[in-house]
Amino acid sequence: MSRPAAITFKGNPMTLVGEEVQVGQDAPDFKLHAFGPAGLTAITVADVKGKPTILSVVPSLDTGVCQTQTKKFNEKLGELGDKINALTISLDLPFAQNRFCGAEGIENIKQYSDYQDRSFGNNWGMLIDELKLLARGTFVLDKDGKVVYAETCKEVTEEPNYDAALAALNAAL
């Protein structure tokens, strides 16, 4: 399934692959990868159950808006510590994500890549067909893996609603 003109990128209509994730549904599965001291590791929806989770989705950490989004969430999530799971998801390679977050001191939100099979992009309706990048958005899951907040930014170059996402995350605590 695809959703033509679901979003825009610099004003140009773009198609999103997959169904739109809705509040109230179970979180669709994914398999994401990270690079750390243990090498490449994978994470799935099952791994984030047990704590409220925020998923910050960005096209690429090599762009200004994506960097701003990651830095803002990193700053705002610091006080919640290990009470939550916090993930930044992009199609950047895990090594590049690790390099950026290390250089910028990003410690409160972990970076994960959907580069291998795009399971997140396809299952969450966030893969931009024309660009083969993820759309920008934010999701919050409760401790049982139910979606309690879902935002897909209508224009890829605009930042998400940080306050609404954080309010949903705090309500899930």
Question: How much is the pLDDT for 56?
Answer: 98
Residue 172 lies in a domain: no
Residues 6 or more apart whose CB falls under 8 angstroms from that of 48 comprise 85, 87, 141, 145
What is the model's pLDDT at position 38? 85
Residue 154, pLDDT > 90, answer yes
Report the CATH number that the domain containing residue 31 is assigned in CATH.
3.40.30.10
Active site annotation includes 66: yes
Cut 0.75: pTM above it: yes
**Cα–Cα distance measured from residue 155 to residue 123, given in angstroms and rounded to the nearest whole number:** 20
- Distance from C-alpha of 76 to C-alpha of 53, rounded to nearest angstrom: 14
144's tokens: 């049982």
* Residue 139 domain-assigned (yes or no): yes
- Of residues 169, 158, 164, the one with CA closest to residue 10: 158
Strand partners, 56: 88, 138
Please report whether residue 167 resides in a domain. no
Tell me whether residue 168 is in a domain. no
User: Which one from 45, 54, 66, 166 is the annotated catalytic residue?
Assistant: 66
Chain segment 15-62, per-residue pLDDT in tens: 999 999 999 999 999 999 999 888 899 999 999 999 999 999 999 999
Give start and end residues of each alpha helix (H) in the chain: 45-48, 64-77, 94-104, 119-123, 162-172
Instruction: Tell whether 36 is covered by a domain.
Output: yes
In a domain, 173, yes or no: no
Summarised one tens digit per residue, pLDDT across range 98-143 is 999 999 999 999 999 999 999 999 999 999 999 999 999 999 999 9
Can you read off the two tokens belonging to residue 172? Answer: 């899930």
Question: What pLDDT score was predicted for residue 37?
Answer: 85
| All residues at 6 or more sequence positions from 75 whose CB lies less than 8 Å from its CB, including other chains | 108
Q: For position 18, what pLDDT does the model report? A: 96
| Residue 86 belongs to domain spanning | 2-162
* Site of tokens 């398999």: 31
- Number of domains observed in the structure of the chain: 1
